[in-house]
Structures are given as C-alpha cells and as structure tokens.
Amino acid sequence: MGLRSLAAELLPAALQGLQRAPLAAMDSHPMAEASSFAALTDKLSYLGKADLKQVREAYKFADEAHLGQFRASGQPYITHPIAVAGLCADWKLDATAIMAALMHDTIEDQGVTKAELIERFGAPTADLVDGLTKLDRLHFNTREESQAESFRKMLLAMARDVRVILIKLADRLHNMRTMQAMAPDKRMRIARETLEIYAPIAHRLGLNQMYRELQELCFELLHPWRHSALAKAVKRARGHRRDIVERVQREVEKGFTAQKLKVHVSGREKTIYSIYRKMREKHAGFAQVSDIFGFRIVVPTLNDCYVALGVLHQLYKPVPGRFKDYIAIPKANGYQSLHTTLVSPLGTAVEFQMRTDTMHAVAEAGVAAHWLYKVGEKDGGNGKQGGKENGKGMPDAQRLSTMWLQSLLDIQVETRDAAEFLEHVKIDLYPDAVYVFTPRSKILALPRGATPVDFAYAIHSDVGDHTVAAKVNGEPAALRTELKSGDVVEIITAPGARPNPGWLSLVRTGRARSKIRHYLKTMETEESRARGEKMLAPALRAEGLQLPSAEPADTVAAALWHQLTRWSGNRHRGELLVDIGLGRKIAVIVAKRAAQLMLERGMRPDALTLSLGRYGSDDTLPAQGVVFIDGSKGNSIQLATCCRPIPGDQIVGYLGRGEGLLVHTAECPTGKRLFERDSERWMHVEWAEDLSLSFDTSLYVLVRNGKGVLAQLASAVSSAEADIVHLDMDAEPVDDSIELRLQISVRDRVHLADVLRTLRRSRVVAKVSRYRFN
C-alpha cells in the first residue's frame, strides 16, 4: 500500500485532532519512572539495609557530580539518573546495578575517573559504569566511527555482564520519553538509532514490553502524522469492536469455568507501530488488518497450556495453518507460548496466546526476569515469579540469551574493525527464525533466509570452513538454498575445501559472515607471507647472502630480524614478509638493508650464493624469485582484466602497492607502461604444471543478425565444452551484422583454439578472434 492510499484512508481520522493513543497493550502499562530519590527508595524495598546505604552514597556522589547541570527540558540533570535507576528497580536489579545506573553519566559528562569509582564503590560498580561510557569522540575521524567503536565497547561489556545493556536500555527509554525538548535533527537521529539498534537488542533479550514502547516512541518521533492518524483509527476501531471483544472474553471465561480450569484472561492490543509495519508488509489498508485485538490466557502449569488450547478449539473453529507451538520450540530470545487464531462469532479472526506465569514473566521481562525470579524466591514463591513451576522455564531463557551474548565475543575475536563488528551484530539482532534439524534430530534456530552455509557455521566453524555441498531433506541442494522450518540439513565436507568469497552474499548470520571474512583475511596474510619470503630469499642471494633463520633459538638471526623490522616500521618478521608479498615494500631494497646489517655483524657474501643469485634467474627481470600461478581464487594474486591471461600465454607479474600480485600477458600494453614506470616492481611468474581450473578470456565475434543467433552461438560454445560468462553487444546492428564481445571460460590456449575453430564453422559467425586488450 502506497502513502497516498494510507493518507486517503486515515486522513479523516487525523483531521479530528492530534491526540496520542496509549502506548502499551490493553493489559500492560509502561514502566513507571521515579522522579525523586524518595520515590526511588520506595521501589527499592527488596534490597537490604546495607545495600540501601550504598545506593544512597551513590546517589549523593552523582548529585554532587551533576550539580549545576541541567537537561534540555530545564530539569536538574540528576532527575535522569534517578529515573534510569527506577526503571532498573522495576526489574529488581541488584544494588550494584542500581548504583551504576545512578552514576552512569559521571565518567562521560563530569570527568570522574574509573579509578575514583573503584576507590569509592568497588570494581564491579566501576566496571558497569565504564561499560556504559562512550569513547572519547576526539579519538576518531567521524561520528560514525566513534559511534561504532562505542557500540562495540558497550556490546562486549554486555556480553560479560548483561546488566550493562539493561541499564543502557533503561537510559535510552527515559531519553526517548523526554525527547521533545531536543533539537529536531538530534531527535530524528537518536530515534533512528534506537529503532535500528536498541529496540532490536531489547527484543533479542526478550524485553518485549520495553521493545514495544521503544518502537512506539521512535515511530511517533520519526512519523508523527502517520502515528497520529493510526492512533485515531485504532481508537475508533476499539469503540466499534468493544462489544465483540467483551462477548468473546465472557464466552471464553465461561468455557474455562465449565472445565474447572483456573486461568487469567486478558485482552491485548497491537501497538500502533506493529499495525503500521503489517500494513506496509502486506500492502494492506487499516481495515484489512484483522488481528488488532487478541487475548492472552495465563495458566498455572505447562500442561494446562495444552488443555486450554483444547478448550478454545472446542469453543471456536481454528483458522488452518495459524497454530504455533513456541513452548516445544522457543524463539531465539527464550519466548514461550502457544499461539492459535480462531474465528469469532462475528466471523473475524482473533488470536489467543496460552502461557504460564513464568513464561509470561520471560515474555515481558526476558533476561531481566532472572532478577525478578530471584526476588520471588526470596519472598517464598508467593509472587508471580515464585513457585515451583518457575524454575523450569527461567534457565532456558537465560541459556538462550547467554548463547547470543557469547556469540558477540566469538564475532569480536575475528573482527577487529568496529564498523564491521556492528554490521555483524545488526544482522543477528533480528531473530525472525526458521527451525531446522540436523540428521541426528537436533534443532537449530536460524534467521529467516538462512542457507546451508549458515547452518554449517552454526554447527562448528571447521564444518563451515570445509563445506563443499549440502543435502536438504535427503536431496542435494545448492548452498544458496533458503532453509524452511522443518528442513533436515546435512552438510558434506572435504579436507581440502576452503570458504569461498562468494559465500558472503549468501549468509544471513553474523557468526557465519565473521568466520568467512576472518578465514579469507588469514589466508590472504598466509599467501602474502609465503610470497614475500619467496621474493626476499633470491633478492638476498643476489647480495651473496642467505635468508636469516626464523627460529627463536637462533639469537643472532632474531636480533637481525629485530633490527630489520625496526628499520622497516613493522612489528615482527611475519608482518614485514606480508608487506613484501603485497607490494608495500620492495624486496630488493629490504635485501640491501639486510645485507648492510649482516655485514656490520661480520657476515660476508658467499661467492657461490652470489653467482646463483645473479646468474640463476631471468636477466630481463629483477631477482625476485619465481611465483607459480595455478588460477586459484586467492585474494593476493589476481589475473589482470585488461588482458585476461590464460595458460599458454607468456606472463609477467606486477607487484602493486598494497594490492598484491597482478598477472599480465607479456604483450599487454598496460603491463608494458607499468614496466617502464616501475620496473623494480616486476617479478618472474610462470604457470603451474597441474592446472584443473578454468580461466576467463574475451572474444570479439561478428555475427549475421537473424532469428535464433544467440541460441546458435551459445550452442557452439557449449559444444566446445566452454561456458559463456558475460556477453555485450552493440546497440544498433550494422549492415545486417552485429558485434558481440563474449567473456568465456576455457582451460588454456589449446582449448581456446578449439572454441575458435568451432565458432568459425558456425553459419551465423562471420568473424571471430580473441579480444586481447580492453
């Protein structure tokens, strides 16, 4: 549905006056704020006297630190930390977290040091405050770079202690509630950031009540007109459907009473943002969104969930295909419930959710339910979170959240770039899942759109790295196949297999993406190091010297490498060799410096080594060693696209500055120009003996224009056992002929000759030749 149709439908409602609708669902309320320390103290009744004393000290410290500081609204700044601490108190967080919430801006805004906090309040509190502190923006070139690094710091602190993100989310919620005093551009930027990062984190951790409110606040700030129009429409619909909602609730309660099943029935209402998103996804009008209202059934035990389902299905007819069992297979954030959609007496669809008290606590508070549950235990199990049944569901939610938090640490190990790390985390923040099975019936939850490559890396990184093929439900499947719930996936591996750079466009999980990138970077480094050593060794032989040993036990060689790397500006020997292999440093120059250092240490050139170094190689090229080209898709060796060399061509290698080795044909004009300009960067390369891969080359083809020309041309290429990779043609035919430029895949020059002969025999081809230089 376009914006015009949305406007046509909702404009009458908008014109009745701008009035904000309730943000929360019918049976839940936004988390209340504490506006003063006295109000906060009332919320902290679950803490002991010693803990309350510490919290009071933290409040005094924060009050002094923020003295004279005001918010954009004009209120004293201390009202913000108090409100954040109050939201944390709603989750029953411990005293350490409440203290950190009160002081969360002291390091960032007031220049308080972490050491000072450790001395006053202990290391645990100081670590939490430090995890919440943004990095100094002066250290970075752009706001985006600063933001990415600050996110990484916060997320890694969160992975070590989940209280960091709970305090940060409470901080962001209060900021969003009080955003009206901010400048419009800053409001929009913070709202977008919240919608893209913080709301999905809340959802990923199961904090659904906060997730819904953050979405609503962001939607209202980003699209105030649409929010107002939809709020009016929902209010109008609420009045129209009140009778049917009350009738359904009465009949449901009567049905459960007849079965002597103790339940709590409550109505729930879709948030305005979720209605808007559904309208956009389904291109539907507001009138077509049928499940605006629904019901939640909270029962005492897990078995009662399924009994309640049976009672409802006897009462109303279920809609086929709309039943979901999230108890047997929980969502990735630990959410558990039974969902079913029934046909009401007036023929409208109504969704029902069945869950236990514990499941309800996890559904609303997610990972924070851990602290609510602990307080419930202390109270003797009398509260909603107490009782015997609660112990079953809570650890599962904790385990699932812990698994995701641990995955952040795994991604960090392999991703040093902050922006790349944030990209991987964003991918993992949207837990719309498909549930697939291993051949041994283990269930794995993967994001929608995941492929067998994601599945392989979810099993183990070694499985992913050596994947060659996959079977889905017993049938061979392409690695780009999108998996569906219920699929049984089997991964086929081979010891010599390695990740393909093309996989980065297939995978959906941050784990798979970071593992593939890490492997490719590692392989590029290893290839470059090996090539750098091959280049430096003959360059040193030309000076009559041997390459010093890399063994740590050889103290003389170790000291020599240390001097050489200090001169070159590298951290260690391996980094220097990588730089030589990538063309950042010239082997001949490094060899001359190494020879000078070796002469200073009394090492003399050897006559035999000098002779081999100077006369054992091609006289036309500097002594850089021979590199064999096998066509493998390495990141540090590339075949030049200007001449597209294939086996059988005479080739030379140009060592670009930081670009790796670029292979040209000996006749390539571009290569010749580079040789004249930069002769010391050329090295001797040869084709490897055993070549099993195919190579791309270009053809110029003049064909007689007519019906079926391309089909005949493709047939001729295929009959010569070659493949067409790409095709370009002139916009207008000339004299009933048309020029084509084909990029085809062949094994070598002999194979290319076969293709050319086959094309010349075709009736539609007037002329064909190799298109050598682009």
Residues with catalytic roles: 108-109
- What would the two tokens of residue 110 be? 């007031």
Residue 86 near residue 39 (C-beta atoms within 8 A): yes
In whole angstroms, what is the distance from residue 303 CA to residue 315 CA?
19
DSSP E strand stretches across 519-642: 626-629, 637-639
- Tell me how long the chain is: 774
Tell me, what amino acid is at 242? R
Strands 264-269 and 637-639, bridge-based pairing: unpaired
Q: Which residues on neighbouring strands pair with residue 295, listed in sequence order?
A: 267, 352
For residue 312, give both structure tokens: 């409802």
Q: In whole angstroms, how far apart are CA 460 and each of 123, 338, 372, 414, 457?
A: 36, 31, 35, 15, 5
- What are 294's strand-pairing partners? 268, 351
Nearest to 105, CA basis, from 83, 86, 129: 129
Phi, psi dihedral angles at 155 (to 5 degrees): -70, -35
Of 591, 464, 475, the closest CA to residue 533 belongs to: 591
Helix axes 123-131, 143-160, angle to 10 degrees: 140
Contact criterion met (CB below 8 Å) for 268 and 248? no
Please give the structure tokens belonging to residue 547: 């390459």
Handedness of CA 633, 635, 638, 642 (dihedral sign): positive
CA–CA distance, 519 with 419 (Å, rounded to integer): 18
Distance, in Å, from the CA atom of 695 to the CA atom of 629, rounded to the nearest integer, reads: 12
Per DSSP bridges, beta strands 433-437 and 737-746 are unpaired
Maximum alpha-carbon separation in the chain? 105
- Residue 80: name the closest of 143, 14, 170, 184 by CA: 170
In which element (H, E) is residue 593 found?
helix 587-600
DSSP letters spanning 733-758:
-BTTEEEEEEEEEESSHHHHHHHHHH
Residues 151 and 154: their CA atoms lie apart, in Å, by 5
Tokens of 532: 């750098």
Name beta bridge partners: 695.
746
Which residue is listed with tokens 């969003």?
Answer: 176
Cβ–Cβ under 8 Å, residues 245 and 440: no
- CA distance linking residue 140 with residue 124, whole number of Å: 28
SS3 14: helix
CA 677 to chain centre: 43
Q: What does the block give as tokens for 121?
A: 């309040």
Radius of gyration over every alpha carbon of the chain, rounded to an integer in angstroms: 34
